């Protein structure tokens, strides 16, 4: 992923927050027919520096992930955060010289790691439970895996395969008009606020140095 210095985000706290807020990653691998990409909800363990998830056993990507594991080859997972179109009409520099074009602002994290495919039923039960508890938290009547009959749960677990992805490389890209003059950033903030877009809060304030 191309990351100009102005857009690079290296703070672990910010990166972890984006992953936790947008946990549906695009998991990419390569096989004989070329690249494969699947959306997979992942759970981050920041203390261990690893992502955990599961895929359907029938998913053809499992074979590619096993091959990557055997070869010690990294695969990427991409977490897409907030994103928005930026109109050049919002820039103060449009009125000054007109040399402006549209762009897109977005927050994105790309991680890479050598996958570890897991078939252990106890591990799968723990991962499914942890993922469920994470997303049921805060609901008025949260559901847990234990609410379902044991036999049903066991049958469901036989239909999935687990995956761990150690974070060997992590890249954060926060493209949020940091490269624009202060007056242009003020215009972007005003334009996004008028549209009710929360991305306005991600734009560096005009008084902030670049």
55 has a pLDDT exceeding 90: yes
Residue that is written with structure tokens 């242009």 in the block: 184
Q: What is the CA radius of gyration of the chain?
A: 21
The per-residue pLDDT for range 146-166, each reduced to its tens digit, is 999 999 999 999 999 999 999
Q: Is the dihedral of CA 19, 20, 25, 29 positive or negative?
A: positive
100 has a pLDDT exceeding 70: yes
Report CA-CA distances (Å) from 156 to 140, 148, 151, 152, 161. Answer: 26, 11, 9, 6, 11
Q: Determine the pLDDT at residue 89.
A: 96
Q: For the residues 89-111, what does the mean pLDDT come to?
A: 95
The per-residue pLDDT for range 113-147, each reduced to its tens digit, is 999 999 999 999 999 999 999 999 989 999 999 99
Q: For the residues 86-91, what does the mean pLDDT come to?
A: 97
Contact 206, 183 (CB under 8 A): yes
Q: Determine the pLDDT at residue 209.
A: 52
pTM of the model: 0.93
Q: Determine the pLDDT at residue 132.
A: 97
The per-residue pLDDT for range 179-206, each reduced to its tens digit, is 999 999 999 999 999 999 999 999 998 8
The per-residue pLDDT for range 1-36, each reduced to its tens digit, is 999 999 999 999 999 999 999 999 999 999 999 999
């Amino acid at each position: 992923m191309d990351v100009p210095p102005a857009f690079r985000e290296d703070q672990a706290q910010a990166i972890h927050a984006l992953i936790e807020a947008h946990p549906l990653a695009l998991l990419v691998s390569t096989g004989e027919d070329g690249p494969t990409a699947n959306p997979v909800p992942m759970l981050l363990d920041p203390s261990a520096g690893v992502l955990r998830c599961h895929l359907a056993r029938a998913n053809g990507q499992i074979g590619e992930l096993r091959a990557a594991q055997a070869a010690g080859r990294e695969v990427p997972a991409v977490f897409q955060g907030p994103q928005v179109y930026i109109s050049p009409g919002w820039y103060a520099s449009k009125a000054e010289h007109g040399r402006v074009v549209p762009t897109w602002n977005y927050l994105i994290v790309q991680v890479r790691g050598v996958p570890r495919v897991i078939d252990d039923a106890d591990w799968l039960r723990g991962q499914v439970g942890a993922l469920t508890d994470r997303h049921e938290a805060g609901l008025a009547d949260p559901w847990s895996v234990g609410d379902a009959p044991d036999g049903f749960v066991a049958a469901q677990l036989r239909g999935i395969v687990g995956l761990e992805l150690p974070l060997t490389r992590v890249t954060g890209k926060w493209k949020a008009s940091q490269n624009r003059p202060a007056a242009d950033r003020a215009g972007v903030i005003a334009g996004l606020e008028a549209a009710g877009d929360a991305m306005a809060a991600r734009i560096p304030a005009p008084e902030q140095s670049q």
